Every structure is written in C-alpha cells, then in structure tokens.
Structure 1
Amino acid sequence: MQEPTRALRTVTIQTADHGGVTFPEPGWCLGDHEVGGYRADLSHTGREVQLDYDDEALLLASFVQDPFATRGPRTVGLYVEQTGFSRTLDPDEVDQFADALVSHATVLRALPRQLAALRTWEGQ
C-alpha cells in the first residue's frame, strides 16, 4: 500500500473498499491515518491529553472526527477514555487523588470550549 500523500490541507489514503480517498484534513489532526483499511474507518485524531495521578494515567482525551462514519456523528468531538486505574489508598493519598481530580476537572472544562471553537471554525 502507498503511504498517505498530502496537498493543500487534504490527504489521500488508500482504502480496501474505495481505493484512494481524498478528503480535507483539519489543522488539529496529527495525520496518522491507517492505510489499507475501510473508508468508514478513516478518522482524524488530535493530540492526546493525558491526565495522571502518581505518574499513572487516569484519563485520556483527544479531539476526533470520523468523516465517513456509517454510524454515529461525523462532526468533530472529544474522545475521552477512562483508564483501568485502581489502587488502595491511604488517607493522605485519597486527599492527593481528590486534588488531582479537581485539577483534571479544570483541564476537562476547558476542552468543550476548544471543541466549540473547532466546530465553529470548521462550520459544523
């Protein structure tokens, strides 16, 4: 399979079912597109934000868009993944954990505004 080619904010990806598919690529997309898959599975993925506690991931978040989705929205959204973090904590660690969650909530609350700005900019 050919590697993705880019021209004027578009990307062309070879797919198993539609051959070369050329589509606009938003500026926030990292450009890591899977070659040789199905067109419906093509997606845009932005930089991942990792929210940690004690050097261990609690939440992962990134902007995503599935422009050829056959189910679900095609507009840009925020993908949030809760990791499988689990641990028994002592009283001090519970306080530290709660502090981390409050701090992460601040980050998460900023992301919808960024998402709204992206949607406005892209005319969605």
Structure 2
Amino acid sequence: MRFIIEVLLTGLAVFLAALVLPDSAVSVAGFGWAIVAGLIISFVNATVGTVLRFFTLPLNLLTLGLISFIITVLMVQLTSYFMGSKFEVANFWWAAVFAIVVAIIQLILNSIFGSKERD
C-alpha cells in the first residue's frame, strides 16, 4: 500500500512541476503519464543512476553531491527520451529546474501525506 501512495505522490509531483514550468520547457500528456514518468524516473535512477553514482563516488565526494544531482538530471532527460511526446523536457537546464521543483513538491507532499514510522 505504501508503494502505491509513493507512486501517486511522485506522479502528482511530476504533474504539478510540469504545470508550474512553461510548456516550452516541460510538458506531460496528463496525470496518468506523469505517474508513468515518475515510475520510469525512479526505475532509471535506481538502476543506471546507482551504477553511475558508484563509479563517480570519489568525484561526488569532492563536489559534495553535485555529481549525484547531475546524474538525476540526466536520468530525467533519459526518461524524456524514452517517453517521447508523452513527457518532454527541453534541455539539460530545464531538466535541472524540473528536478529541483519536483524535489520541493515531493518534500511538501511527503510532509502532508507521509506516514509516520512506527517504533
């Protein structure tokens, strides 16, 4: 049940971020496609992103996590490539802004809808 809630919240964050940013920068075909985009971003980040983070660990430590953020932005662009016209991000810089906006929206949504861990 928790996984379904997380997927819906991620989809909502992607959808709201696409609404906040200009259509020329980020576009999503609808809430259903936003959920799919959120799933693909999570999957690509968990697989390809993890491998990239492992190989760039020393550089990531030197840049205090900036490389990890760049990898996340690249995973957003990879998702845009996979999804075609259903989820599009114009370029690297808009993908970076999108990643920041999604992170902020997820922080807000998780503080509102997130469940407390039981001891």
- For the aligned pair, the TM-score class normalised by the smaller chain equals under 0.3
The answer to which structure, 1 or 2, has the higher relative contact order (CA under 8 A, 6+ apart) is 2
Structure of larger gyration radius:
1
Structure ranking higher in helix proportion: 2
Structure ranking higher in strand proportion: 1
The normalised TM-score by structure 2 is 0.27
The normalised TM-score by structure 1 is 0.26
